[in-house]
Amino acid sequence: MEPKHFCQSCSMPIDDLSLRGTEFDGSLSQDYCKYCYAHGQFIHPTMTLEEMKSLVIEKMDEQKIPQDIVEAAVQRLPDLKRWQLSITS
């Protein structure tokens, strides 16, 4: 089954609720994974888009993800909510 929800920071699928980050009140984030977001804030708030691209490539390569999927994930990053917010800020 194709994922329906992706982290709006790193593009990881977050359909599995155990992968979701948390908001200030402890509720699950609708937008971000637990590796990017906890307690209502980004875990690495000063991370740049370029740093995220490098991290995504590194983590996906470690998991032996096919290169075409890695490239698609990296190309999707600039369109995600976190990076759109940083562009307009």
What's the pLDDT tens digit per position in 56-71? 999 999 999 999 999 9
Residue 86 has pLDDT above 80, yes or no: no
**Structure tokens of 43?**
């875990």
Question: Measured on CA atoms in the order 60, 83, 35, 16, is the torsion positive or negative?
Answer: negative
Distance CA 60, CA 66 (A): 8
**Who contacts 70 (Cβ-Cβ below 8 Å, separation ≥6)?**
56, 57, 60, 61
pLDDT at site 3: 73
pLDDT in tens, 27-83: 999 999 999 999 999 999 999 999 999 999 999 999 999 999 999 999 999 999 999
Q: In 65-80, which positions are buried (b, 16+ CB within 10 angstroms) versus exposed (e)?
A: eeeeebeebbeebeeb
Confirm if 78 and 50 have CB atoms less than 8 A apart: no
Asked if the model's pLDDT at residue 89 lies above 70, the reply is no
